[in-house]
Amino acid sequence: MAKVTFTPELNPRADKNGLFTIYIRIYANGKYKRVCLGVSVKKEDWNADKREVRKSNKDAEMINTLIRKKVSEGFSQDIISKVSNNKQSIVTIQKNLKNEVTGGNFFEFAEKIVKEMQNSGSQRVYYSVLAKLKEYQNDLDFLDISRSFLINYERWLFEEKGNNKNTIHKNLTTIRTIYYEAARREVFEPSKNPWLAMKINKVKSNRSQLTIEEIKVLEGLELEKDSQLFHARNIFLLQFYAYGTRIADMLLMKWVHLKDNRLEFLANKTGKKHAVKLPIEAILILEYYKERRKSITDYIFPYLKLKQWDSHLLFRKDIESKTSQVNNNLKKLAVLANINKRISTHVARHSFAEIARQKTKNDIWAISKALGHSNISITENYFGQNSERENDSLSDIVFKS
């Protein structure tokens, strides 16, 4: 059997701070590989003969304990592989020891997490975040994620990628979620938590909303019946009139959910029960579709074909595909209606919230309940820019000379 050795040594080159990183050099079959321990010392603090840190370094005891522990783990791996007759290459030994030291490769663990997700929309978000992080640093271990790394990455996102604060916030919080999940699963045990000293800022976004006048213009468009534009306009309007009902719930809405001009259903996202009294405008939309109803279990709108899906992933993909179809047609409707705003299915929700806020004179609690939000701060985030403008108006009224 080939002898494998594990020797502590210093990197011959100093880092930018003039310190030298400690490595474990692995030797087997005439080949060398090294594993970084993630700690650095002054050259004069290293005892080359004893392969340890001198007592002149205040952290000598801790670092030397780490060195002995990792050398011991390396030998243990080698012995286990020989006893089990499971020969390991030097690359495998390096990788296993590296995982012990650093928690392993961040991207390998992240890929595993993303594949476990049921929501394909969330998967796309995570893959987008990871692709950007790989562009910045293609090989990343958990140990590499320090406060300085995160600050530099945040700066790169802003200066090189041109990302705004909310996009940067989403990228960093996604990375943080993966990091914490790795710690929770005991993939590694961080000696320092880099996120505790990181302040990740987010600003209230200027969300697109339609005024009641723009809603009426959209409602009055002459469209070919049963065309894609016709159905997209109607599902958007019913979303609006049904307290900003989410598009997934509206796509899944069946005639059995309509009772005495009220929609009663369980929200797909939260599982909460909703009971929405419909105005005459919504009832007139439903009257058109009611004529072709064959069963109370039919969907109200002609988008979904299946009543059951083989998996949650296929269900999400179907919902997302139909949502995309509706959104593409809403863009065309905005042009036809001369509305210089981006219209999407979610705009129906924000439009209802803002118009309701104006009509109720800021009854945020009632609006939050109607929207089915779990936290009123979520509802308040809908109104950021509008509230600021109203505060400006109040200032003019109070202090105008």
Residues 232 and 336 in one domain: yes
Residues 174 and 218 in one domain: no
CB 352 within 8 A of CB 240: yes
Residue 199 lies in a domain: no
pLDDT band per the 50, 70, 90 thresholds, residue 322:
very high
What is the mean pLDDT of the segment spanning 302-318? 87
pLDDT at 189 over 70: no
Residues 162 and 304 in one domain: no
pLDDT band per the 50, 70, 90 thresholds, residue 4:
confident
The larger pLDDT score, comparing residue 196 to residue 232, is at: 232
Q: Give me the pLDDT at residue 304, please.
A: 94
Residues 162 and 265 in one domain: no
Residue 204 lies in a domain: no
pLDDT band per the 50, 70, 90 thresholds, residue 27:
confident
Residues 68 and 125 in one domain: no
Q: Bridge partners of 53?
A: 46
Residues 21 and 161 in one domain: no
What's the CATH code of the domain at 257? 1.10.443.10
Tell which of 73, 101, 129 closes a domain.
101
Q: Give me the pLDDT at residue 286, please.
A: 95
Residues 260 and 372 in one domain: yes
pLDDT at 350 over 80: yes
Residue 223 lies in a domain: yes
What is the mean pLDDT of the segment spanning 324-353? 92
pLDDT at 250 over 90: yes
- Closest-CA residue to 37 (of 12, 3, 71, 82): 71
Residues 124 and 78 in one domain: no
Residues 96 and 132 in one domain: no
pLDDT digits (tens, 9 = 90+) for 362-386: 676 777 767 766 566 655 566 654 5
**What is the distance between the alpha carbons of residues 241 and 184, in angstroms, rounded to a whole number?**
43
Task: Sort strands 5-10 and 262-266 into parallel, antiparallel or unpaired.
Answer: unpaired
Q: Give me the pLDDT at residue 387, please.
A: 47
Residue 375 lies in a domain: yes
CB 96 within 8 A of CB 125: no
Tell which of 69, 101, 133 closes a domain.
101
Residue 295 lies in a domain: yes
Say what percent of the chain tops pLDDT 70. 80
Residues 388 and 240 in one domain: yes
What is the mean pLDDT of the segment spanning 91-111? 67
Residue 197 lies in a domain: no
Does the pTM surpass 0.75? The reply is no
Task: Name which of 33-37, 127-131, 180-184 the model is least confident about.
Answer: 33-37
Tell which of 80, 101, 122 closes a domain.
101
What is the mean pLDDT of the segment spanning 385-390? 46
pLDDT digits (tens, 9 = 90+) for 53-97: 999 898 888 888 888 887 777 666 655 455 444 555 555 655 555
Contacts of 115 (CB under 8 A, 6+ apart): none
Residue 205 lies in a domain: no
Mean of all residue pLDDT scores within the chain:
81
Residue 198 lies in a domain: no
Specify the number of domains making up the chain. 3
Residues 310 and 334 in one domain: yes
Buried b / exposed e across 151-185, counting CB within 10 Å, b at 16+? eebbebbeeeeebeeebbbbbbebbbebbeebeee
Residues 358 and 220 in one domain: yes
Q: Which residue range(s) make up the domain with 150? A: 106-184
Q: Give me the pLDDT at residue 99, please.
A: 54
Q: Give me the pLDDT at residue 175, please.
A: 93
Task: Name which of 184-188, 192-196, 308-312, 330-334 the model is least confident about.
Answer: 184-188
